[in-house]
Amino acid sequence: MAEEAVLGFLQTNDQISDSHQFAASVGVGHTELENVIKSLKGFEIVDAQEITRQSWVLTEEGKKYMVNGSPEALFFSAIPPEGISRNTLKEKLGIETFDIGSKAAAKNKWIAFDKDLVKRKVESVEDEVKNLLTRINNGEVVSDQVINDLKRRKLIVKQTWKGYLLKRGPKYVSKRKKAATDLTREHIVSGDWKNLEFKEYNVNAEARAIQVGYLHSLLEVREEIQNIFLQMGFEEMPTNNFVESSFWNFDALFQPQQHPARDSHDTFFLETADRTKDLPEDYLKNVKRVHEFGGYGSKGYGYDWKRDEAEKNLLRTHTTAVSTRMLYALAQQETFTPKRYYSIDRVFRNEAVDRTHLAEFHQIEGVICDRGLTLGDLIGVLEDFFSRLGMSKLRFKPAYNPYTEPSMEIFSYHDGLQKWVEVGNSGMFRPEMLLPMGLPEDVNVIAWGLSLERPTMILYGISNIRDLFGPKVDFDLIKNNPICRLGI
Protein backbone atom coordinates (compact mmCIF):
# COMPACT_ATOMS: atom_id res chain seq x y z
CA MET A 1 0.00 0.00 0.00
CA ALA A 2 2.77 2.41 0.96
CA GLU A 3 4.65 1.52 -2.21
CA GLU A 4 1.64 2.26 -4.42
CA ALA A 5 1.12 5.56 -2.61
CA VAL A 6 4.73 6.67 -3.17
CA LEU A 7 4.87 5.63 -6.84
CA GLY A 8 1.40 7.05 -7.52
CA PHE A 9 2.22 10.38 -5.92
CA LEU A 10 5.49 10.70 -7.84
CA GLN A 11 3.67 10.08 -11.11
CA THR A 12 1.99 13.48 -10.85
CA ASN A 13 4.34 15.31 -8.49
CA ASP A 14 8.04 16.06 -8.78
CA GLN A 15 8.91 15.13 -5.26
CA ILE A 16 7.87 14.11 -1.80
CA SER A 17 9.66 16.67 0.29
CA ASP A 18 9.18 15.06 3.66
CA SER A 19 8.60 11.35 4.16
CA HIS A 20 7.19 11.91 7.66
CA GLN A 21 4.46 14.24 6.47
CA PHE A 22 3.78 11.89 3.57
CA ALA A 23 3.50 8.87 5.88
CA ALA A 24 1.05 10.77 8.06
CA SER A 25 -0.99 11.97 5.07
CA VAL A 26 -1.45 8.47 3.64
CA GLY A 27 -1.88 6.86 7.06
CA VAL A 28 1.09 4.50 7.26
CA GLY A 29 3.80 4.31 9.89
CA HIS A 30 7.11 5.90 8.97
CA THR A 31 9.06 2.69 9.62
CA GLU A 32 6.91 0.86 7.12
CA LEU A 33 7.38 3.62 4.59
CA GLU A 34 11.11 3.64 5.22
CA ASN A 35 11.36 -0.07 4.32
CA VAL A 36 9.50 0.58 1.08
CA ILE A 37 11.79 3.54 0.32
CA LYS A 38 14.91 1.42 0.86
CA SER A 39 13.66 -1.29 -1.45
CA LEU A 40 12.62 1.18 -4.17
CA LYS A 41 15.93 2.98 -3.82
CA GLY A 42 17.82 -0.31 -4.21
CA PHE A 43 16.18 -0.83 -7.59
CA GLU A 44 16.72 2.84 -8.54
CA ILE A 45 12.99 3.28 -8.89
CA VAL A 46 13.13 6.27 -6.60
CA ASP A 47 15.87 8.61 -5.61
CA ALA A 48 15.90 9.04 -1.84
CA GLN A 49 17.88 11.70 -0.09
CA GLU A 50 18.23 11.56 3.64
CA ILE A 51 17.17 14.63 5.53
CA THR A 52 17.36 15.32 9.20
CA ARG A 53 15.18 17.80 10.97
CA GLN A 54 14.77 19.06 14.43
CA SER A 55 11.42 19.86 15.89
CA TRP A 56 9.89 20.59 19.24
CA VAL A 57 7.57 18.06 20.77
CA LEU A 58 5.52 18.19 23.95
CA THR A 59 6.63 16.33 27.04
CA GLU A 60 4.09 14.31 29.02
CA GLU A 61 3.53 17.32 31.22
CA GLY A 62 3.21 19.58 28.18
CA LYS A 63 0.55 17.28 26.74
CA LYS A 64 -1.33 17.38 30.04
CA TYR A 65 -1.32 21.21 30.02
CA MET A 66 -2.48 21.23 26.41
CA VAL A 67 -5.47 19.09 27.26
CA ASN A 68 -6.43 20.33 30.74
CA GLY A 69 -5.06 23.86 30.73
CA SER A 70 -1.97 25.29 32.40
CA PRO A 71 -1.76 25.23 36.23
CA GLU A 72 -1.84 29.07 36.35
CA ALA A 73 -5.08 29.15 34.35
CA LEU A 74 -6.56 26.40 36.50
CA PHE A 75 -5.47 28.33 39.56
CA PHE A 76 -7.12 31.53 38.33
CA SER A 77 -10.39 29.86 37.36
CA ALA A 78 -10.65 28.24 40.76
CA ILE A 79 -10.78 31.62 42.52
CA PRO A 80 -14.35 32.95 42.98
CA PRO A 81 -14.86 36.77 42.60
CA GLU A 82 -14.97 37.22 46.41
CA GLY A 83 -11.65 35.37 46.89
CA ILE A 84 -10.86 32.08 48.58
CA SER A 85 -8.71 30.89 51.49
CA ARG A 86 -5.33 29.41 50.61
CA ASN A 87 -6.10 26.12 52.24
CA THR A 88 -9.46 25.64 50.55
CA LEU A 89 -7.84 26.39 47.20
CA LYS A 90 -4.98 24.02 47.92
CA GLU A 91 -7.47 21.27 48.67
CA LYS A 92 -9.46 22.06 45.55
CA LEU A 93 -6.48 22.03 43.16
CA GLY A 94 -4.09 19.58 44.73
CA ILE A 95 -0.70 20.63 46.02
CA GLU A 96 1.16 20.42 42.71
CA THR A 97 -1.21 22.54 40.63
CA PHE A 98 -1.51 24.93 43.57
CA ASP A 99 2.27 25.42 43.89
CA ILE A 100 3.09 25.76 40.20
CA GLY A 101 -0.11 27.66 39.41
CA SER A 102 0.24 30.19 42.27
CA LYS A 103 3.77 31.13 41.26
CA ALA A 104 3.03 31.51 37.56
CA ALA A 105 -0.28 33.33 38.15
CA ALA A 106 1.41 35.74 40.56
CA LYS A 107 4.16 36.37 38.05
CA ASN A 108 1.52 37.13 35.42
CA LYS A 109 -0.04 39.57 37.93
CA TRP A 110 -3.37 37.71 37.69
CA ILE A 111 -3.77 37.25 41.41
CA ALA A 112 -2.93 38.77 44.79
CA PHE A 113 -2.57 37.36 48.28
CA ASP A 114 -4.32 39.17 51.08
CA LYS A 115 -3.20 37.51 54.30
CA ASP A 116 -4.75 34.09 54.07
CA LEU A 117 -7.01 35.06 51.19
CA VAL A 118 -6.32 34.64 47.47
CA LYS A 119 -7.99 37.13 45.16
CA ARG A 120 -8.26 37.79 41.45
CA LYS A 121 -6.51 40.91 40.18
CA VAL A 122 -8.01 40.85 36.70
CA GLU A 123 -11.45 40.01 35.30
CA SER A 124 -10.47 37.20 33.02
CA VAL A 125 -7.31 35.59 31.60
CA GLU A 126 -6.18 33.95 28.41
CA ASP A 127 -4.42 30.55 28.80
CA GLU A 128 -1.48 31.51 26.63
CA VAL A 129 0.60 28.45 27.57
CA LYS A 130 -2.14 26.07 26.50
CA ASN A 131 -2.52 27.93 23.21
CA LEU A 132 1.20 27.88 22.50
CA LEU A 133 1.48 24.18 23.28
CA THR A 134 -1.41 23.45 20.94
CA ARG A 135 0.31 25.41 18.17
CA ILE A 136 3.62 23.63 18.67
CA ASN A 137 1.84 20.32 18.69
CA ASN A 138 0.38 21.22 15.31
CA GLY A 139 3.86 21.83 13.95
CA GLU A 140 3.54 25.61 13.85
CA VAL A 141 6.62 27.73 14.24
CA VAL A 142 6.74 29.92 17.34
CA SER A 143 9.22 32.53 18.56
CA ASP A 144 12.49 31.65 20.24
CA GLN A 145 11.38 33.49 23.36
CA VAL A 146 8.34 31.21 23.67
CA ILE A 147 10.44 28.10 22.96
CA ASN A 148 12.91 29.06 25.70
CA ASP A 149 10.18 29.64 28.28
CA LEU A 150 8.43 26.36 27.56
CA LYS A 151 11.71 24.47 27.44
CA ARG A 152 12.67 25.87 30.86
CA ARG A 153 9.35 24.69 32.23
CA LYS A 154 10.14 21.23 30.71
CA LEU A 155 6.95 21.29 28.66
CA ILE A 156 8.69 20.73 25.33
CA VAL A 157 11.86 18.94 24.18
CA LYS A 158 13.84 18.97 20.98
CA GLN A 159 13.54 15.90 18.80
CA THR A 160 15.80 15.08 15.88
CA TRP A 161 14.29 12.89 13.25
CA LYS A 162 15.49 11.38 10.04
CA GLY A 163 13.37 11.38 6.96
CA TYR A 164 13.68 11.34 3.20
CA LEU A 165 13.24 13.61 0.26
CA LEU A 166 11.95 11.45 -2.60
CA LYS A 167 12.12 11.90 -6.37
CA ARG A 168 11.63 9.63 -9.35
CA GLY A 169 14.67 7.46 -9.92
CA PRO A 170 16.25 6.45 -13.28
CA LYS A 171 14.19 3.27 -13.36
CA TYR A 172 10.98 4.86 -12.15
CA VAL A 173 7.77 2.98 -12.91
CA SER A 174 4.30 3.89 -11.68
CA LYS A 175 3.71 0.31 -10.63
CA ARG A 176 6.40 -2.20 -9.81
CA LYS A 177 6.09 -5.75 -10.97
CA LYS A 178 6.91 -8.10 -8.17
CA ALA A 179 9.79 -10.27 -9.33
CA ALA A 180 9.09 -13.97 -8.94
CA THR A 181 11.65 -15.88 -6.88
CA ASP A 182 10.72 -19.40 -7.95
CA LEU A 183 9.45 -21.03 -11.09
CA THR A 184 6.58 -23.20 -9.94
CA ARG A 185 4.41 -25.88 -11.51
CA GLU A 186 1.50 -23.41 -11.49
CA HIS A 187 3.54 -20.87 -13.49
CA ILE A 188 4.21 -23.47 -16.15
CA VAL A 189 0.69 -24.87 -16.27
CA SER A 190 -0.95 -21.46 -16.52
CA GLY A 191 1.65 -20.07 -18.89
CA ASP A 192 2.28 -17.19 -16.43
CA TRP A 193 6.00 -17.68 -16.70
CA LYS A 194 5.99 -15.90 -20.08
CA ASN A 195 5.05 -12.59 -18.48
CA LEU A 196 6.85 -12.95 -15.20
CA GLU A 197 10.00 -11.16 -14.26
CA PHE A 198 12.30 -13.40 -12.28
CA LYS A 199 14.52 -12.28 -9.50
CA GLU A 200 18.18 -12.84 -10.33
CA TYR A 201 20.16 -15.25 -8.24
CA ASN A 202 22.68 -13.57 -6.00
CA VAL A 203 25.57 -15.96 -6.28
CA ASN A 204 27.63 -13.76 -3.97
CA ALA A 205 25.22 -14.11 -1.06
CA GLU A 206 26.75 -15.93 1.84
CA ALA A 207 25.21 -19.27 2.62
CA ARG A 208 23.71 -19.75 6.03
CA ALA A 209 26.03 -21.46 8.49
CA ILE A 210 25.01 -25.05 9.02
CA GLN A 211 24.39 -26.05 12.61
CA VAL A 212 25.71 -29.51 13.28
CA GLY A 213 27.35 -31.36 16.13
CA TYR A 214 31.11 -31.22 16.44
CA LEU A 215 33.58 -33.76 17.66
CA HIS A 216 35.65 -32.64 20.60
CA SER A 217 39.28 -32.09 19.61
CA LEU A 218 40.39 -34.84 21.97
CA LEU A 219 38.07 -37.29 20.21
CA GLU A 220 39.43 -36.27 16.82
CA VAL A 221 43.02 -36.78 17.86
CA ARG A 222 42.10 -40.00 19.64
CA GLU A 223 40.63 -41.37 16.46
CA GLU A 224 43.75 -40.49 14.47
CA ILE A 225 45.95 -42.21 17.03
CA GLN A 226 43.65 -45.19 17.12
CA ASN A 227 44.07 -45.46 13.34
CA ILE A 228 47.83 -45.38 13.69
CA PHE A 229 47.73 -48.25 16.19
CA LEU A 230 45.40 -50.23 13.96
CA GLN A 231 47.66 -49.67 10.95
CA MET A 232 50.55 -50.98 13.03
CA GLY A 233 48.61 -54.14 13.89
CA PHE A 234 47.64 -53.36 17.49
CA GLU A 235 44.46 -54.59 19.23
CA GLU A 236 42.51 -52.42 21.63
CA MET A 237 42.46 -53.32 25.32
CA PRO A 238 39.22 -53.09 27.36
CA THR A 239 39.79 -50.04 29.55
CA ASN A 240 36.23 -49.57 30.76
CA ASN A 241 37.05 -49.65 34.48
CA PHE A 242 38.08 -46.39 36.11
CA VAL A 243 38.10 -48.05 39.53
CA GLU A 244 40.97 -50.44 40.04
CA SER A 245 42.51 -52.24 42.99
CA SER A 246 45.95 -51.24 44.23
CA PHE A 247 46.95 -54.79 43.41
CA TRP A 248 46.52 -54.37 39.64
CA ASN A 249 47.49 -50.73 39.59
CA PHE A 250 50.68 -51.09 41.68
CA ASP A 251 51.56 -54.44 43.25
CA ALA A 252 51.38 -56.52 40.10
CA LEU A 253 53.69 -53.91 38.54
CA PHE A 254 56.33 -54.55 41.19
CA GLN A 255 55.68 -51.13 42.69
CA PRO A 256 56.49 -51.40 46.42
CA GLN A 257 53.79 -50.57 48.94
CA GLN A 258 55.83 -47.71 50.44
CA HIS A 259 56.25 -46.02 47.06
CA PRO A 260 55.29 -42.30 47.30
CA ALA A 261 52.92 -42.60 44.30
CA ARG A 262 50.80 -44.88 46.50
CA ASP A 263 50.19 -42.02 48.92
CA SER A 264 46.79 -40.28 48.97
CA HIS A 265 48.60 -37.09 47.97
CA ASP A 266 49.14 -38.60 44.55
CA THR A 267 46.34 -41.11 44.17
CA PHE A 268 42.57 -40.95 44.70
CA PHE A 269 41.48 -43.80 46.99
CA LEU A 270 37.83 -44.81 47.25
CA GLU A 271 35.94 -44.33 50.51
CA THR A 272 32.94 -46.43 49.58
CA ALA A 273 33.64 -49.85 48.14
CA ASP A 274 37.10 -49.25 49.50
CA ARG A 275 38.46 -52.81 49.16
CA THR A 276 38.70 -55.43 46.42
CA LYS A 277 38.36 -58.93 47.89
CA ASP A 278 38.44 -60.92 44.73
CA LEU A 279 42.07 -61.27 43.62
CA PRO A 280 43.77 -64.20 41.82
CA GLU A 281 45.12 -66.03 44.87
CA ASP A 282 47.95 -68.05 43.29
CA TYR A 283 49.24 -65.08 41.40
CA LEU A 284 48.87 -62.90 44.49
CA LYS A 285 51.19 -65.28 46.37
CA ASN A 286 53.80 -64.95 43.64
CA VAL A 287 53.53 -61.17 43.73
CA LYS A 288 53.88 -61.14 47.53
CA ARG A 289 56.94 -63.37 47.27
CA VAL A 290 58.68 -61.29 44.63
CA HIS A 291 58.11 -58.09 46.64
CA GLU A 292 59.38 -59.66 49.86
CA PHE A 293 62.17 -61.96 48.75
CA GLY A 294 62.60 -61.57 45.02
CA GLY A 295 63.32 -64.62 42.90
CA TYR A 296 63.87 -64.90 39.15
CA GLY A 297 67.33 -63.51 39.76
CA SER A 298 66.02 -60.57 41.83
CA LYS A 299 66.54 -59.75 45.53
CA GLY A 300 63.08 -58.24 45.92
CA TYR A 301 62.42 -55.27 48.21
CA GLY A 302 62.77 -57.13 51.51
CA TYR A 303 59.69 -55.79 53.31
CA ASP A 304 56.54 -57.24 54.80
CA TRP A 305 54.00 -57.16 51.93
CA LYS A 306 50.43 -56.54 53.13
CA ARG A 307 47.37 -57.87 51.38
CA ASP A 308 45.26 -55.11 52.97
CA GLU A 309 47.30 -52.48 51.12
CA ALA A 310 46.84 -54.36 47.81
CA GLU A 311 43.06 -54.55 48.32
CA LYS A 312 42.60 -50.77 48.50
CA ASN A 313 40.47 -49.46 45.66
CA LEU A 314 41.53 -46.38 43.73
CA LEU A 315 40.90 -44.47 40.54
CA ARG A 316 43.51 -45.97 38.24
CA THR A 317 46.58 -43.78 37.93
CA HIS A 318 47.64 -45.31 34.61
CA THR A 319 46.22 -47.63 31.96
CA THR A 320 49.25 -49.83 32.58
CA ALA A 321 46.97 -51.49 35.16
CA VAL A 322 44.89 -52.76 32.25
CA SER A 323 48.00 -53.79 30.30
CA THR A 324 49.03 -55.81 33.34
CA ARG A 325 45.66 -57.59 33.47
CA MET A 326 45.99 -58.35 29.75
CA LEU A 327 49.50 -59.76 30.17
CA TYR A 328 48.36 -61.88 33.09
CA ALA A 329 45.46 -63.23 30.97
CA LEU A 330 47.92 -63.97 28.19
CA ALA A 331 50.15 -65.87 30.60
CA GLN A 332 47.23 -68.09 31.58
CA GLN A 333 46.84 -69.45 28.05
CA GLU A 334 48.18 -72.90 27.18
CA THR A 335 50.47 -71.70 24.46
CA PHE A 336 51.95 -68.27 24.28
CA THR A 337 50.92 -65.98 21.38
CA PRO A 338 52.69 -62.69 20.66
CA LYS A 339 50.43 -59.64 21.03
CA ARG A 340 50.34 -55.97 20.23
CA TYR A 341 47.91 -54.11 22.46
CA TYR A 342 46.93 -50.46 22.73
CA SER A 343 44.52 -48.34 24.75
CA ILE A 344 43.49 -44.71 24.99
CA ASP A 345 41.47 -43.90 28.07
CA ARG A 346 41.17 -41.84 31.19
CA VAL A 347 43.46 -41.96 34.22
CA PHE A 348 43.37 -39.98 37.46
CA ARG A 349 46.03 -38.37 39.63
CA ASN A 350 45.71 -36.19 42.67
CA GLU A 351 47.53 -33.23 41.17
CA ALA A 352 47.33 -29.48 41.73
CA VAL A 353 45.33 -28.16 38.80
CA ASP A 354 47.06 -25.53 36.67
CA ARG A 355 47.35 -24.40 33.03
CA THR A 356 48.82 -27.70 31.92
CA HIS A 357 47.60 -30.16 34.55
CA LEU A 358 44.23 -31.56 35.51
CA ALA A 359 43.45 -34.27 38.04
CA GLU A 360 42.50 -36.52 35.14
CA PHE A 361 43.77 -37.02 31.62
CA HIS A 362 43.76 -39.55 28.82
CA GLN A 363 46.61 -41.95 28.54
CA ILE A 364 47.71 -43.52 25.27
CA GLU A 365 49.48 -46.79 25.81
CA GLY A 366 51.14 -49.28 23.50
CA VAL A 367 52.34 -52.74 24.57
CA ILE A 368 54.15 -55.43 22.56
CA CYS A 369 54.67 -58.85 24.00
CA ASP A 370 56.89 -61.30 22.14
CA ARG A 371 59.84 -63.60 22.51
CA GLY A 372 63.30 -62.07 22.42
CA LEU A 373 62.38 -58.38 22.22
CA THR A 374 65.18 -55.91 22.89
CA LEU A 375 65.61 -52.23 23.65
CA GLY A 376 66.37 -51.82 19.94
CA ASP A 377 62.87 -53.08 19.17
CA LEU A 378 61.42 -50.54 21.56
CA ILE A 379 63.36 -47.67 19.98
CA GLY A 380 62.37 -48.85 16.52
CA VAL A 381 58.67 -49.09 17.28
CA LEU A 382 58.70 -45.71 19.03
CA GLU A 383 60.32 -44.10 15.99
CA ASP A 384 57.70 -45.68 13.77
CA PHE A 385 54.79 -44.69 16.02
CA PHE A 386 55.88 -41.11 16.67
CA SER A 387 56.84 -40.40 13.06
CA ARG A 388 53.24 -41.31 12.14
CA LEU A 389 52.20 -38.62 14.62
CA GLY A 390 54.42 -36.15 12.81
CA MET A 391 57.31 -36.33 15.27
CA SER A 392 60.32 -37.78 13.53
CA LYS A 393 63.13 -36.23 15.55
CA LEU A 394 63.24 -38.27 18.76
CA ARG A 395 65.67 -38.52 21.64
CA PHE A 396 65.61 -40.95 24.53
CA LYS A 397 66.70 -40.29 28.07
CA PRO A 398 67.32 -42.98 30.68
CA ALA A 399 64.60 -42.87 33.31
CA TYR A 400 63.14 -44.89 36.15
CA ASN A 401 59.83 -46.73 36.58
CA PRO A 402 59.41 -49.41 39.23
CA TYR A 403 58.08 -51.79 36.57
CA THR A 404 60.46 -51.21 33.64
CA GLU A 405 64.17 -51.71 33.17
CA PRO A 406 65.59 -50.12 31.16
CA SER A 407 63.22 -47.13 31.10
CA MET A 408 63.34 -44.22 28.71
CA GLU A 409 61.70 -40.84 28.58
CA ILE A 410 60.85 -39.85 25.02
CA PHE A 411 61.63 -36.33 23.74
CA SER A 412 60.58 -34.88 20.42
CA TYR A 413 62.00 -31.77 18.80
CA HIS A 414 59.22 -29.23 18.41
CA ASP A 415 59.87 -27.02 15.40
CA GLY A 416 57.41 -24.35 16.52
CA LEU A 417 58.77 -24.07 20.05
CA GLN A 418 62.32 -24.73 18.81
CA LYS A 419 63.08 -27.05 21.67
CA TRP A 420 62.93 -30.66 22.82
CA VAL A 421 59.67 -31.49 24.58
CA GLU A 422 58.96 -34.57 26.61
CA VAL A 423 56.27 -36.59 24.85
CA GLY A 424 56.21 -39.93 26.63
CA ASN A 425 57.62 -42.58 28.86
CA SER A 426 58.62 -46.12 27.95
CA GLY A 427 60.52 -49.21 28.93
CA MET A 428 60.84 -52.98 29.02
CA PHE A 429 58.74 -54.61 31.72
CA ARG A 430 60.85 -56.16 34.47
CA PRO A 431 61.13 -59.94 34.98
CA GLU A 432 59.84 -59.29 38.53
CA MET A 433 56.59 -58.20 36.91
CA LEU A 434 56.31 -60.74 34.08
CA LEU A 435 57.57 -63.98 35.57
CA PRO A 436 55.19 -64.15 38.57
CA MET A 437 52.36 -64.06 35.99
CA GLY A 438 53.68 -67.23 34.43
CA LEU A 439 54.88 -65.84 31.11
CA PRO A 440 57.68 -67.89 29.49
CA GLU A 441 61.15 -66.70 30.45
CA ASP A 442 62.16 -65.68 26.94
CA VAL A 443 59.12 -63.46 26.50
CA ASN A 444 59.77 -59.72 26.77
CA VAL A 445 57.35 -56.86 26.83
CA ILE A 446 58.11 -53.40 25.51
CA ALA A 447 55.68 -50.61 26.25
CA TRP A 448 55.18 -46.88 26.22
CA GLY A 449 52.71 -44.34 27.44
CA LEU A 450 51.86 -40.72 26.71
CA SER A 451 49.00 -38.33 27.30
CA LEU A 452 46.40 -37.55 24.67
CA GLU A 453 46.10 -33.96 25.88
CA ARG A 454 49.71 -32.98 25.28
CA PRO A 455 49.83 -33.70 21.53
CA THR A 456 46.31 -32.26 21.11
CA MET A 457 47.33 -29.00 22.76
CA ILE A 458 50.47 -28.78 20.65
CA LEU A 459 48.55 -29.63 17.49
CA TYR A 460 45.81 -27.05 18.03
CA GLY A 461 47.96 -24.43 19.74
CA ILE A 462 46.01 -24.54 22.99
CA SER A 463 47.99 -23.23 25.94
CA ASN A 464 45.48 -23.73 28.75
CA ILE A 465 44.27 -27.29 29.30
CA ARG A 466 41.08 -25.96 30.90
CA ASP A 467 40.01 -24.59 27.49
CA LEU A 468 40.20 -28.16 26.22
CA PHE A 469 38.72 -30.23 29.00
CA GLY A 470 36.38 -29.72 31.92
CA PRO A 471 33.56 -27.30 32.75
CA LYS A 472 35.21 -24.26 31.16
CA VAL A 473 35.78 -25.87 27.79
CA ASP A 474 35.73 -23.34 24.99
CA PHE A 475 32.88 -24.30 22.61
CA ASP A 476 34.07 -21.97 19.87
CA LEU A 477 37.39 -23.71 19.90
CA ILE A 478 35.71 -27.09 19.49
CA LYS A 479 33.47 -25.73 16.75
CA ASN A 480 36.14 -23.95 14.78
CA ASN A 481 39.05 -26.34 15.08
CA PRO A 482 40.08 -27.75 11.74
CA ILE A 483 39.97 -31.47 11.10
CA CYS A 484 42.89 -33.13 12.81
CA ARG A 485 45.55 -34.37 10.40
CA LEU A 486 48.50 -35.95 12.10
CA GLY A 487 51.88 -36.44 10.55
CA ILE A 488 51.58 -33.75 7.89
Pick out residues in 348-387 that bind ligand PHE (CB under 6 A). 365
Q: Is 425 in the site for ligand PHE (CB under 6 A)?
A: yes
Quick one: 305 or 448, whose CB is closer to ligand PHE?
448
Please tell me whether residue 447 binds ligand PHE under the rule CB under 6 A.
yes
- Would you say how long the chain is, in residues? 488
- From the CB of 312, what's the least distance to ligand PHE, in Å? 19
* Span near ligand PHE by CB under 6 A; candidates 14-22, 102-110, 350-358, 446-454: 446-454
Contacts of 251 (CB under 8 A, 6+ apart): 257, 287, 291, 305, 309, 310
Please count the other Cβ atoms lying within 10 Å of the Cβ belonging to residue 292: 14
Q: Are 426 and 410 in contact (CB under 8 A)?
A: yes
Task: Report the C-alpha gap between 460 and 355 in whole angstroms.
Answer: 15
Count of other CB atoms within 10 angstroms of residue 377: 15
Q: Verify binding: residue 320, ligand PHE, rule CB under 6 A.
A: yes
Stretch that binds ligand PHE, among 48-56, 177-185, 336-344, 443-451 (CB under 6 A): 443-451
> Which range in 175-183, 414-422, 431-439, 445-453 contacts ligand PHE by CB under 6 A?
445-453
Contact 407, 422 (CB under 8 A): no
CA distances from 399 to 349, 428, 443 (A): 20, 12, 22
Considering only 113-121, 169-177, 352-360, 425-433, which stretch makes contact with ligand PHE by CB under 6 A?
425-433
Q: 10 Å Cβ neighbour count for 48?
A: 21
**Which stretch in 87-95, 211-219, 338-346, 419-427 sits in contact with ligand PHE by CB under 6 A?**
419-427
Interface with ligand PHE (CB under 6 A), residue from 404, 412, 444, 456: 404
- Indicate the residue among 168 and 362 with the shorter CB distance to ligand PHE: 362
- The only residue of 75, 110, 341, 448 in contact with ligand PHE, by rule CB under 6 A: 448
Q: Which of 101, 300, 449, 455 binds ligand PHE (CB under 6 A)?
A: 449
- How many residues touch ligand PHE (CB under 6 A)? 11
CA dist 311 → 105, 238, 332 (Å): 99, 21, 22
Sheet strands side by side (includes 117-120): 84-85, 117-120, 111-114
Binding site for ligand PHE (CB under 6 A): 318, 320, 365, 401, 404, 425-427, 447-449
